[in-house]
Structure 1
């Protein structure tokens, strides 16, 4: 049983965030879940929900101040809130890309900046950033989403060096496709697919098939719990497929990885 550690989870009203809040609440953690509309969140024992928009400096500051006022500390931050975007890089507007990065990259940055002073003062803390297999192995037609996860990976590595002397560590949890609304209902770029239509539609069909047979968010929640309670390891792929892909990326020749990706997503040789 956890000794009433305080955990903050962003995007906690559905998917991976909800599954994690539920599991940690059951394990005795004091969980504070952030949601854009807390009234729509399901009631979970051991979990308090508060209004949180990670794209707003004011909302982030208010939420963190509320948690600290109630508890005096934040032991663990789980940066889970995220959005997806599917479409050709050429068709992605700067505005679409900016909105995605505002949630997926600047959102975690806002949360990290807000919680770090209390963690440093306590000389204790853990920041868990939800990345993705696409953070180290990009997929076609998910260029901007993959870019945002690459950014989170780089930010996390740099941050871990900076805060380690304060006994604060950073972890990357890297799921592959998960059966959540985020993956199933991913937004698409507004511009018509044009010359990319045939391949984009074939790739999307392949991805959706993988999502429908993908594990539930509970597998990611289990990994987050293990990251909190187990020995430290920065990169933590979720499940056998993600672990295999991580190893292939590290040890397979680049040409073989490239060919395998193209085959997976229905591209010809090239």
Structure 2
């Protein structure tokens, strides 16, 4: 039986690395990407290919290179992403653009690059890794939530556009997981005597506590393995602790203002 070829953006650490290691152990041919593969010399479990998802031409170059090696790509997992925190008023548009270039336009570039080959082979699977935060507006994480929410909506549309080609599309939304995302996240500075100083500082501490107490990323890897082996994937999957998943249920059933009050209470705002 032919091994499926899987490409994972952002495969050098965190959730991406866990996915790659798990799929490799299940017999898949796995490739990951990193902006700087040379920084991960000890990463030998699966190849890391150089990719900057914000580079307009890099996605096409990478897909062409991988197709020369393997002749096909069965699964694309758009996992590369960056975090950002800050009051909307005090966060620069430049930093906002960087997040959207990575979290939203980056996956689009990869999708546009891989779709021609998937359509030609009349099968394929695209998994967009978003976030539970993408289902709701979170204080001081508005830009991150919006970028992930936009990718989730794009997934819904892309599924319908690709349904006649044998290409399946789905979205996996993790909650808080114990990864190094906090170290790479952009934090708008806490400005002394700003109107947002105290509530923003308090929220930052709470966010970092959640990441430190996060679940094991292997849970995301196992969910993705099951999705790959599912004949008809759902539109959305959420992976996280019971409270995080319950929050999505409440979002759908509670009046907006009631849900807003719950978030304010949670963040002690």
- Same fold by TM-score, threshold 0.5 exceeded? yes
Deviation sequence 1:102-122 (CA, Å, 0-9, x none): 111110010000000000111
Q: Distance in 1 between matches of 2:203 and 2:245?
A: 23
* 1:1-16 equivalence runs, <5 A: 3-16=2-15
What SS class does the counterpart of residue 89 from structure 2 fall into?
coil
* 1:256 aligns with one of 255, 258, 261: 258
Q: Using the TM superposition, give the Cα deviation of residue 43 of structure 1 relative to its aligned residue in structure 2, in angstroms.
A: 2.9
- Contact residue 86 and residue 200 of structure 2 kept, 8 A: yes
Range moving further from structure 2, 203-212 or 116-125 = 203-212
Look up the match of 1:121: 120
Q: In the alignment, what sits opposite 2:233?
A: 232
Aligned-residue offset at 1:256: 2.1
Query: Could you list the per-position Cα deviations for residues 128-178 of structure 1 after superposition, in whole angstroms to 9, with x for gaps in the alignment?
Result: 001101111221000111110111011111111101110111111011111
SS in 2 for 1:158: helix
Question: What is the distance in 1 between the residues matched to 2:164 and 2:210?
Answer: 41
Point out where structure 2 has 5 or more consecutive residues left out of the alignment: none
How far did residue 184 of structure 1 move?
4.9
Aligned residues: 265
Aligned to 1:212: 212
SS at structure 2 position matched to 1:57 = coil
Q: Does 1:61 align with 2:54?
A: no
1:135 matched residue in structure 2: 134
Q: TM-score under structure 2 normalisation?
A: 0.94
SS in 2 for 1:7: strand
Question: Do 1:33 and 1:49's aligned partners in 2 also have CA atoms closer than 8 Å?
Answer: yes
Task: Provide the C-alpha distance between the structure 2 equivalents of 1:12 and 1:225, rounded to a whole number of angstroms.
Answer: 15
| Secondary structure, aligned partner of 2:72 | coil
242-251 or 119-128, which deviates more: 242-251
- 1:86 — aligned with what? 85
Displacement, 1:264? Answer: 0.4
Displacement after TM superposition at 1:253 (Å)? 2.4
Q: CA deviation at 1:250?
A: 1.4
Question: 2 CA distance for matches of 1:6 and 1:86?
Answer: 35
Partner Cα separation in structure 1 for residue 54 and residue 64 of structure 2: 17
Distance (Å, rounded) in 2 between the aligned partners of 1:107 and 1:219: 24
TM-score (norm: length of structure 1): 0.93
CA contact (8 A) 2:227 2:233 kept: yes
**d(CA) in 2 for partners of 1:60, 1:18:** 19
Q: Partners of 2:174 and 2:36 in 1: how far apart? A: 26
Residue of structure 2 in register with 1:167 after alignment: 166
Conservation of the 8 A alpha-carbon contact between 2:190 and 2:197:
no
